[in-house]
Amino acid sequence: MSEATTFCLIVSAVLFGIGTLGVLPRRSAITILMSIEIMLNAGNLALIAVSRVLPGQGGLGLVDGHVFVLFVLAIAAAEAAVGLAIVLALYRLKRSTDIEVLRLLRW
Amino acid sequence: MDYQLFEIWTAMPTLWPAVYGLLLLLFVPALREDRQWLWGFAVAGMVLTIVVPSYMLYHIGSYGDYRETAGMLGMEMVRADRLSLSLDILFGVAGLLALLLMPVYLDRARAYRPEVYPLTFLSVAGMTIMVGTDNLMMIFLGLEVLSISLYVMCGIARETPTGIEAALKYFLLGAFSTGFLVYGVALLYGATGSLDLEGIASAVALGAPGLAPYGDGMLLAGMALVIVAFAFKIGAVPFHFWTPDVYQGAPTPVTAFMAAGTKAAAFGVLLRLLHTGLSSSIDVSSRWILALSVLAAATMIIGNVMALVQDRVKRLLAFSSVAHAGYLLLGLLAPLDVGVANVVFYLTVYTFMTIGAFAVVSVFQDAGHDADHISHFSGLWSRHPVLAVTMAVFLLSLTGIPPMGGFTCKYVIFLSALRAGHPLLALIMGIAAVIGAYYYLRVLVAMFFKPPEQELSAEIVVPSPTRVVLAVSVVATVLLGILPSYVLEPLSRISASLAMLP
């Protein structure tokens, strides 16, 4: 395994950590959404880095990982669209995107 | 015989609901005023969604297991075997029962939007993709198709604060767990060099992971992240905290669909992932068995204990669904040949009893809001005896009282846990079930022995589609309890479709 791959994997792990830590203490729904996108992109980076060095055909590495990344990008876009629509509906109702306003459903 | 027919049939359980759902979406603007027609088309399509996999399952012996090759990448990505077809039938049933509940409930809640019917089809399609494959990429795609449709369905009542709150919570937690899934799959892929479960299994068996120096660590970390992602989806403790809020805030028919369908799909995937992909080395399988044991014990105990203090029946049923996820996790720990049939049988019973219970709850509406406080249920026996008895059947079944289906499925899981060498977990299951009896019986006592407390402003009217749902669920719950062997015996052949590589 090359140094470049190791480096990419370390960066992806750091990104994943940033994303996870970004989700937990946040109050703004939009910031949480952005942190989740960072987590997904950490996964993408790891997939590409790994896919390049795995043994495949024609010197390209194994292409499964590359294809997977395209799917993840498409899904992330769909997810962001639905998520922002939900946040918008919340804003219409409460005039705020702060998740502190979500406290009707408590025991 | 006709080879090409056979190929397209493989993908049929997915293609049918996906294509039908999209066509239905095209007809939504034209049929916006003709609610009955649109609903009729939806119900007819969902009936066929049940018929297609049933037909395939009936004929599976004559063809062997179907397989389709996805030509472009030369990989086998879609499969139809006994496990996927049995679960496909279950998804269709959950979808159909939810569709029957939807129009009246949404109309009374003033949240009727016809888009909810196509979304139901798309989420059923997502579930069928998830269980009908051996490939992690397809599992991811199916999970997302299912989840994204469900986020919208939860928020379909977007003018109500509780509805939108449930949708946002479900979305944020669901998307968070997707992050875990993608990163976990990336690590598994790096460690084994394959996205295919059989490829992963052979790499794990050889003990020669793809990226040499970090292979083992990556494999374990990837496995842990994927298990966490699915623990979110099934609502296992400590990843369950979204469950009660979302179940309470979502429209009740959507809650019923979500409780039954998502759980069945996620457990179907876990069966394949753990038993096909990660069982070829004792070293690896002992670790996920340990992780799942801890999850199962915590889920059974905390799910049942938290349900004790709930005063709203929807929240109570949500914690009950957490507890049932714990029992099902216990079923995953058993070896393949007994475990798979038991888990699928449990999911079958659970689908009927939980949708039935939510169907009763969906009747309790007051001025467009859910009237699901326990006090709304008290004295139900004197107000609507048939509804009270129906609810009693579901509650007794969820408790696990013979002769209901809920007893039989708990019993087989209990036995398989004992046989698999987990006596401590079996004991915890027994204790948890006893704790569980208290809160189910609390609702029962309120219904039968207490005077009516909080009158609804209107008379309780059970609409006729809901009656159909209740009748089907009661009959299925009781029959599965009395005659389990008619279902368990065919299900016992499922494990062959998951059998490991030589």
Sort out which chain A residues have CB atoms less than 8 A from B123's CB and list them.
none
The encoded tokens of residue B233 equal 């989806």
Sort out which chain A residues have CB atoms less than 8 A from B194's CB and list them.
64
Which chain B residue has its CA at the smallest distance from A107's CA?
A: B310
| CB-based contact B211 A54, cutoff 8 Å | yes
Which chain A residue has its CA at the smallest distance from B210's CA?
A: A54
| CB-based contact B183 A63, cutoff 8 Å | no
| CB-based contact B168 A55, cutoff 8 Å | no
Sort out which chain A residues have CB atoms less than 8 A from B152's CB and list them.
82, 85
Sort out which chain B residues have CB atoms less than 8 A from A29's CB and list them.
168, 172
Sort out which chain A residues have CB atoms less than 8 A from B199's CB and list them.
none
Chain-centroid distance of CA B142 in Å reads: 14
Which chain A residue has its CA at the smallest distance from B196's CA?
A: A64
What distance in Å separates the CA atoms of residue B488 and residue B342, rounded to the nearest whole number?
Answer: 7
| CB-based contact A102 B168, cutoff 8 Å | yes
Residue B36 class from Cβ within 10 Å (0-12 exposed, 13-18 middle, 19+ buried)? exposed
C-alpha neighbours within 13 Å on the C-beta side of residue B148:
21
3-class secondary structure per residue, chain A:
CCHHHHHHHHHHHHHHHHHHHHHCCCCEHHHHHHHHHHHHHHHHHHHHHHHHHCCCCCCCCCCHHHHHHHHHHHHHHHHHHHHHHHHHHHHHHHCCCEHHHCCCCCC
Sort out which chain B residues have CB atoms less than 8 A from A39's CB and list them.
176, 179-180, 182-183
What distance in Å separates the CA atoms of residue A86 and residue A93, rounded to the nearest whole number?
Answer: 11
C-alpha closest to that of B439 among B297, B253, B340, B312: B312
- Residues pairing with B365 in the sheet: B370
**Tens digits of residue pLDDT in A64-99:** 888 999 999 999 999 999 999 999 999 999 888 888
What distance in Å separates the CA atoms of residue B59 and residue B298, rounded to the nearest whole number?
Answer: 41
End-to-end Cα distance, chain B: 28
| CB-based contact A71 B140, cutoff 8 Å | yes
| CB-based contact B185 A1, cutoff 8 Å | no
| CB-based contact A43 B155, cutoff 8 Å | no
By DSSP bridging, strand B75-80 and strand B365-366 are: unpaired
What distance in Å separates the CA atoms of residue A91 and residue A34, rounded to the nearest whole number?
Answer: 17
Which chain A residue has its CA at the smallest distance from B247's CA?
A: A105
What distance in Å separates the CA atoms of residue B429 and residue B418, rounded to the nearest whole number?
Answer: 11
C-alpha closest to that of B363 among B468, B465, B466: B466
Report residue A58: phi and psi, to 5°: 70, 25
Question: Side chain identity at B306, as an amino acid letter?
Answer: M
What distance in Å separates the CA atoms of residue A65 and residue B211, rounded to the nearest whole number?
Answer: 14
Instruction: Write out the H or E segment, with its range, that includes residue B102.
Output: helix B82-108
| CB-based contact B185 A68, cutoff 8 Å | yes
Number of separate helices (H) and strands (E) present in chain B: 23, 4
Q: Give yes or no for residue A46 having a pLDDT over 70.
A: yes
Q: A39 to chain B nearest CA, in Å?
A: 5
Interface probe, candidates B113, B152, B189, chain A, greatest A C-beta count within 10 A: B189
What distance in Å separates the CA atoms of residue A23 and residue A29, rounded to the nearest whole number?
Answer: 9
Q: What is the pTM of this model?
A: 0.93
| CB-based contact A29 B172, cutoff 8 Å | yes
Which chain B residue has its CA at the smallest distance from A12's CA?
A: B183
Which chain A residue has its CA at the smallest distance from B246's CA?
A: A105
What distance in Å separates the CA atoms of residue B359 and residue B348, rounded to the nearest whole number?
Answer: 17
**What pLDDT score does B2 carry?**
38
- Domains in chain A with CATH codes: 3-94 (1.10.287.3510)
Q: What is the mean pLDDT of each run of 10 residues along chain B (502 residues)?
A: 54 91 92 88 96 86 47 58 90 97 91 93 96 91 96 91 92 95 94 87 76 76 95 92 93 95 95 87 88 95 93 93 95 85 94 96 85 87 92 95 91 91 93 93 91 73 92 96 89 71 38
Which chain A residue has its CA at the smallest distance from B306's CA?
A: A107
Q: B247 to chain A nearest CA, in Å?
A: 10
**What pLDDT score does B208 carry?**
57
Candidates A16, A36, A102; nearest CB to B175: A36
Query: Burial letters for B218-245: b for 16+ Cβ neighbours within 10 Å, e otherwise?
Result: bbbbbbbbbbbbbbbbbbbbebbebbbb
| CB-based contact B165 A5, cutoff 8 Å | no
**Tens digits of residue pLDDT in A5-42:** 889 999 999 999 999 998 887 788 999 999 999 999 99
**What pLDDT score does B334 carry?**
86
Q: A60 to chain B nearest CA, in Å?
A: 14
Interface probe, candidates B122, B136, B160, B165, chain A, greatest A C-beta count within 10 A: B165
| CB-based contact B182 A82, cutoff 8 Å | no
| CB-based contact B141 A72, cutoff 8 Å | no
> Can you say whether the dihedral through the CA atoms of B391, B393, B395, B398 is positive or negative?
negative
Q: A50 to chain B nearest CA, in Å?
A: 5
**What pLDDT score does B217 carry?**
85
What distance in Å separates the CA atoms of residue B81 and residue B496, rounded to the nearest whole number?
Answer: 9
Candidates B193, B249, B309; nearest CB to A105: B249
Cβ(B5)–Cβ(B124) below 8 Å: no
Number of Cβ pairs < 8 A linking chain A and chain B: 149
